[in-house]
Amino acid sequence: MVLFDRWYRSDASLKDDPDDELVNLLKGERVGKALDLGCGQGRNTLYLASLGYEVVAIDKSRVAILQLMEHGKVLGFNIECETCSLLDFQFGEQFDLIVFSYVLHFILQRPEQISILYKIMDYTKTNGIVFIKVPLTEMMFESLCLKKGLLNRVFTHSNYDWEIIEDYVKLTGDKKDFEVNVFIARKVG
């Protein structure tokens, strides 16, 4: 992932706060085991660790993972970090929370996007939560944007039952012209 390695290397400081929707969602939730897929420098991973979650964080960018390990060390968190592609990840356990923020549009084939979503569903514990944010607006050449409703359809037609907690489109960016789908679901069975 040359592009992301270069980008992270250009500035190792933690660039962003955790997602607001994640912060709001977790108020009152019991902590447990979390997975941050495509974690980048780990703004969400570090937030989850600060709440007491046991976090596994994976990203294809080795540079991002090294930076996350460094930030985690400074803050005294014990985070399980792995350099790995989302196309390959495998675990022997399920998670109470899976975070997948601003990553899905970088998976450039629709069937691969869908198969990652199915893996996410398999790796979620019953009563666990999936938190996804994905741009719907084309942001760069190397991105495959989703249409609103796709996440909902894939989850609703899976082998599991889901309570869709949130599914809306939010305008973000300086000019408020960038559409992002916020999708949060709980596995009920």
Ligand X SMILES: C[S@@+](CC[C@H](N)C(=O)[O-])C[C@H]1O[C@@H](n2cnc3c(N)ncnc32)[C@H](O)[C@@H]1O
Closest C-alpha to 48, from 59, 37, 60, 61? 37
- Site string (7-36) toward ligand X, x via CB under 6 A: ---------x--------------------
Verify binding: residue 43, ligand X, rule CB under 6 A. yes
Nearer to ligand X, 107 or 121 (CB): 107
> Which strands form 54-59's sheet, in the order they lie side by side?
80-83, 54-59, 33-37, 95-101, 124-135, 178-187, 162-172
**The tokens 């990203």 sit on which residue?**
59
Q: Which stretch binds ligand X (CB under 6 A): 23-31, 90-98, 101-109, 157-165?
A: 101-109
The SS3 call for residue 154 is: helix
Tell me the sheet residues that pair with 55.
34
Verify binding: residue 106, ligand X, rule CB under 6 A. yes
Token digits of residue 184 = 């949060």
Verify binding: residue 38, ligand X, rule CB under 6 A. yes
Q: Which residue is nearest to ligand X (CB)?
A: 40
Query: What is each CA distance from 107 to 44, 116, 117, 134, 144, in whole angstroms?
Result: 20, 9, 11, 11, 7
Verify binding: residue 85, ligand X, rule CB under 6 A. yes
- Among 64, 79, 117, 154, the residue binding ligand X under the rule CB under 6 A is 64
Nearer to ligand X, 145 or 160 (CB): 145
Closest C-alpha to 22, from 157, 184, 144, 178? 184
Nearer to ligand X, 85 or 156 (CB): 85
Verify binding: residue 103, ligand X, rule CB under 6 A. yes
Residues that bind ligand X (CB under 6 A): 1, 4, 16, 38-40, 43, 59-61, 64, 85-87, 101-103, 106-107
